[in-house]
Amino acid sequence: MRAKAAPAPTVPAPQDVPRHVAIIMDGNGRWASRRKLPRIAGHKAGADAVRRTVRAAREMGIDCLTLYAFSSENWKRPEQEIADLTALLKHFIQNDLDEFHANNVRLRVIGDYRAFDASAVTMVEEALERTAANTGATLVIALNYGSQNELTRAAQAVARRVEAGELSADAITGETLAAELDTADLPPLDLLIRTSGEQRLSNFLLWQVAYAELYFTDLFWPDFDADALATACTAFAGRQRRYGGL
């Protein structure tokens, strides 16, 4: 007898699709070690999951997808792993940018990508420039990103405006600060997903997450796919967002 196929998750109706989804892609290393493979194999499989997820997000009508690819704390990893992750990023830009560009996807980066090696910086800048006018969807890659650093830089920028006499301290609002964040031109965050069963924010989008829904899955990132994204979005659609009201 043939086993019954698991029912495909229902894709949320267009009005229930979150506009901005961010993902903490965690579990590449554990995925690899379960298979007795080196960590790089997990990151490679993670890059495949990135490709699948970007396509799925676009098909589902998600306007903006933000992926935490490299945190400002990831520099603490062994040199070889940093080199492997940088090579994967370059490979991703080289191989996948044409497809995203053809699909009208705009690439954005948050964090200070200029800390990467010169050829990676050039590739990122060319990709940003090439896709800047695209209007279909936005793929945001967090590179050398840390939320506390982003907030510190934003506070410094606001303080400089106060020092220059452009702004009084009393006139500073949440919007003043938000306008100085790396995410200033992005839609408000609706849904934050973290894979691998960990339930923490790891210095990711701490300001932006204020009214986002949080979704945790035990799947390791390399196992994440269109169905997993649909399941997360269906859970999101079932949440009641009250923004502090009743």
43 versus 106: smaller Cβ distance to ligand FPP: 43
Catalytic status, residue 26 = yes
Catalytic residue among 63, 74, 203, 225: 74
What residues contact 129, with CB distance under 8 A and at least 6 apart? none
Which strands sit side by side in the sheet containing 64-71, from one edge to the other? 105-110, 137-145, 64-71, 20-24, 191-194, 213-216
Phi, psi for 245 (deg, rounded to 5): -90, -165
CB of 150 to ligand FPP, least distance (A): 18
Residue 13: strand, helix, or coil: coil
Q: Is 43 in the site for ligand FPP (CB under 6 A)?
A: yes
Q: Is 138 exposed, middle or buried (0-12, 13-18, 19+ CB in 10 A)?
A: buried
CB of 162 to ligand FPP, least distance (A): 37
Q: Is 19 in the site for ligand FPP (CB under 6 A)?
A: no
Among 47, 186, 192, 233, interactor with ligand FPP by CB under 6 A: 47
Q: At what angle do helices 79-102 and 39-60 cross, to 10 degrees?
A: 20
Tokens of 82: 């940093």
Phi, psi for 213 (deg, rounded to 5): -85, 140
Q: Is 141 in the site for ligand FPP (CB under 6 A)?
A: yes
Other Cβ atoms within 10 Å of 130 Cβ, number: 16
Place of tokens 């969807």: 137
CB of 88 to ligand FPP, least distance (A): 4
CA 184, CA 144: separation in Å to the nearest integer?
A: 18
Q: Is 88 in the site for ligand FPP (CB under 6 A)?
A: yes
Q: Is 25 in the site for ligand FPP (CB under 6 A)?
A: yes
Among 29, 56, 105, 192, interactor with ligand FPP by CB under 6 A: 29
Among 50, 62, 65, 109, interactor with ligand FPP by CB under 6 A: 50
25 versus 228: smaller Cβ distance to ligand FPP: 25
Interaction pattern, residues 97-136, with ligand FPP; x per rule: CB under 6 A: ----------------------------------------
Catalytic status, residue 74 = yes
Could you list the residues that contact ligand FPP (CB under 6 A)? 25-30, 43, 46-47, 50, 67, 69, 74, 85, 88-89, 92, 141, 221
